[in-house]
Structure formats: structure tokens, C-alpha cells
Amino acid sequence: MGDTLVIDNDILWGKLVKSWATGRNYIHPDRDAIAIPRTLEDLLQTARDVGLHITFPDGMVGLAVIQYSPQTAVIKLPPKAMVEATEATLEQPGAVYPMPKFYEEFFEVPLPALSRDQLFDLHAARIGDYSIRNCG
């Protein structure tokens, strides 16, 4: 455990999520579907089984896996404590927005330094995007 979520391979994680969403095995297409985990322990075991390492923040003990239809508007609210913790981090001198590393890897450019106001605007935009967008 730690104080932040760490997923050591974003592409493998994405393939695992796609596998659960579709019932197809995107990691090993010649194998059966990967069961959707129902507990945090199940999730961590499934991750280990496919060669993925995940660390959850201290105190995280539950798991909710939600799949909805394209006809349903879903607004996912982040936990208040997580929003406030990120805001506190962004207030620190020299703060850098905690973007997943794959953005720099795919676009082959370092993310720019941002002013305090830009950091908070990016934070708001990412929360807004996360809360309402469907993946596809």
C-alpha cells in the first residue's frame, strides 16, 4: 500500500479493463475471458496473474465495478478526500500535476510547467471529464 494509486503498466491495465468490459480476453486472445473481480483481493490476484502490479492507497479496502448501458448517463463523483488531497498538493511550491506517465510516452513531449491557476483548471477539467465521459 501507499498514498497514491500506482499501476505499473497502463497498457496492460487498459487491456484488462477492456477484457472485463467486453468478455473477450485482450491479454491472451486464445484464452477464456477474464472474470470480473468482486473484491479488492480478487482484483490484485487477477492483476498478478496477468503480470500487472497495482498498489492502492492505504485504507482502500473496497471495490466497485460498474458497467452501464450507453443509454444511461452516469456521473462518477470522486471521493471528497481525494479531491482535497490533490488540491493541497497543487498548492505546494513547484507543484506538478500528477498526469499518468503514458501521456508523455505517447506524445513524446514532456508536459509543460503550469501556473497555480492552470494546475487547478487542469484538475477541474480532468475531474469533469472523468465524471461524465464514457470510454470507447
pLDDT at 59 over 70: yes
Helical spans, DSSP H, in 3-79: 10-22, 40-49
- Residues 81-101, mean pLDDT to the nearest whole number: 92
- Residues 28-41, mean pLDDT to the nearest whole number: 96
Give the pLDDT confidence score for residue 109 in this predicted structure.
Answer: 86
Residue at 9: amino acid letter: N
Q: How far is CA 34 from the centre of its chain?
A: 19
Domain boundaries, the chain: 6-55, 80-132
pLDDT at 134 over 80: no
Taking all residues of the chain, what is their mean pLDDT, rounded to a whole number?
Answer: 91
For residues 1 and 41, the answer to whether their CB atoms sit within 8 Å is: no
CA distances from 3 to 59, 82, 130 (A): 9, 10, 21
- State if pTM tops 0.75: yes
- Residues 74-95, mean pLDDT to the nearest whole number: 93
